[in-house]
Amino acid sequence: MSFDPGSALERLFDEYSRRAKAIRHDLGLPHNADFAEQAQERQNDEVLQALLAEAEAGLRQVGLARLRLAEGTYGQCQRCGEPIEPARLQALPAAECCLACADKHQA
């Protein structure tokens, strides 16, 4: 079976969208009137807000990957211009750079 980046990005977009929607729903729930419970709920809200930020960042990355696909530059490293390894794209369909550049960036 060959890798279809459009389908992979669509699935990833759907996953991040569902995740963000569920988190927004949870953040919109009213807090308990009990002070101790409310303190715990506010801590949980901080975790949910961080998870929402991650989901929104994922949506942005997928959006950029879709643009690269439309422009014909999908699979090309945004740093060095070399092709991104197919296995990397299968594992991370929204990858912006090759493994070598990603390792350099993290170092």
Report domain extents, the chain. Answer: 5-106
> What confidence tens digit (pLDDT) does each residue in 45-73 have?
999 999 999 999 999 999 999 999 999 99
User: Hunting for tokens 């927004």 — which residue is that?
Assistant: 24
6-49, pLDDT tens digit by residue? 999 999 999 999 999 999 999 998 888 887 787 888 889 999 99
| Tokens 């996953």, located at residue | 15
Which pLDDT belongs to residue 106? 74
Residues 89, 95: contact at Cβ < 8 Å?
yes
Q: How far apart, in whole angstroms, are the C-alpha atoms of residue 12 and residue 92?
A: 9
Q: Give the architecture (CATH level 2) of 5-106.
A: Up-down Bundle (1.20)
- pTM of the shown model: 0.84
